[in-house]
Structure formats: C-alpha cells, structure tokens
Amino acid sequence: MEFNATFFVSAISFIIFTIIMNLIFYKPISKVIYERQKLIGDALNAAQKSKDETKELLTNRDYRLTKSAADSRKLIADKIEEANKSSKVLTQKAKEKSQNDISLAKENLHKEAETLNRELDIEVKNLAEIISSNILGIDVKIEETEL
C-alpha cells in the first residue's frame, strides 16, 4: 500500500470535517439530548415523588377513616351503654315509686275498710236496736264490744 499526498489530504479533510461536524452538529444535538434526558429524569423524579406523596396521603386517609369509624363505634357504644344505665335507673325509680304508691294505696284501702267496718257495725247495731225495739216494744240498747 502506498501513501501519497491524496491519502494525507483525505485524512486531513476527514479530521477537519469531523471537527466541524462536532462543533456545528454533534455538540448542539448532544446538548439537546442531555437537556431532554435531564428533563425526563426530573419529570420521572417528580412523578415518583408525587406517587409517594399520594401513597402517603392515601395511607393517612385510610388510617383517619379507620380511626374515625372506630371512634364513632366506641362513642355509639358508650352512648348506648349510658342510655341503658339511665333506663335501668329510671325503671328502678319507677318500680320503687309504683311499689310505694301501691303500698300507700293498700294502707289507705285497709284504713277505709276498717272505718267502713266500724261504721257498718254501728249501723248494724242501730238497726238491731230499732228492730228489737219495734218487735219487743221497749227501748233496747246494745253495748259496743271490741273485736
């Protein structure tokens, strides 16, 4: 193989062509490619960050919902228990009052029965005296007896 001037001219022109292409074409293209890669990388990082924040927000929301539901159930159970206790107390008071009223009514009825029995005894005695007086024709007085 022979090396003559055309070979060197071709080599030098290729090197000059490469340098010019590198300055005019490859550096701007590589700069655009680098900026796009950086933009894509930043967008991916932002998307991953947003995804992580969304996951955290969803986890917090689920936790708060679960906690709120549990708190609500506990509050409802406490109120039901409180209402049951209040109901038992009110029922007990009502029973005691009705028992007191019943015993008071029984006592009043018993007193009225005794009073009516005494009055009936007096009436029977008076009727017996009147009937005896009419039949016998004399005034008859019946003495009261204690039973």
Please list, in sequence order, all residues whose beta carbon lies within 8 angstroms of the beta carbon of residue 38, skipping any fewer than 6 positions away: none
Query: Quick check: is 98 in a domain?
Result: yes
Q: How many domains does the chain divide into?
A: 1
pLDDT digits (tens, 9 = 90+) for 33-75: 999 999 999 999 999 999 999 999 999 999 999 999 999 999 9
The secondary structure of 93-124 as a DSSP string is HHHHHHHHHHHHHHHHHHHHHHHHHHHHHHHH
Query: Quick check: is 132 in a domain?
Result: no
Q: Is the pLDDT of residue 147 over 80?
A: no
Query: Quick check: is 139 in a domain?
Result: no
Query: Quick check: is 48 in a domain?
Result: yes
Query: Quick check: is 39 in a domain?
Result: yes
Give the pLDDT band of residue 122 (cuts 50, 70, 90): confident
Which pLDDT value is given to residue 7? Answer: 83
Query: Quick check: is 82 in a domain?
Result: yes
23: containing domain: 19-117
Give kind and range of the element (H or E) at residue 23.
none
Query: Quick check: is 129 in a domain?
Result: no
Is the pTM above the cut of 0.85? Answer: no
Query: Quick check: is 56 in a domain?
Result: yes
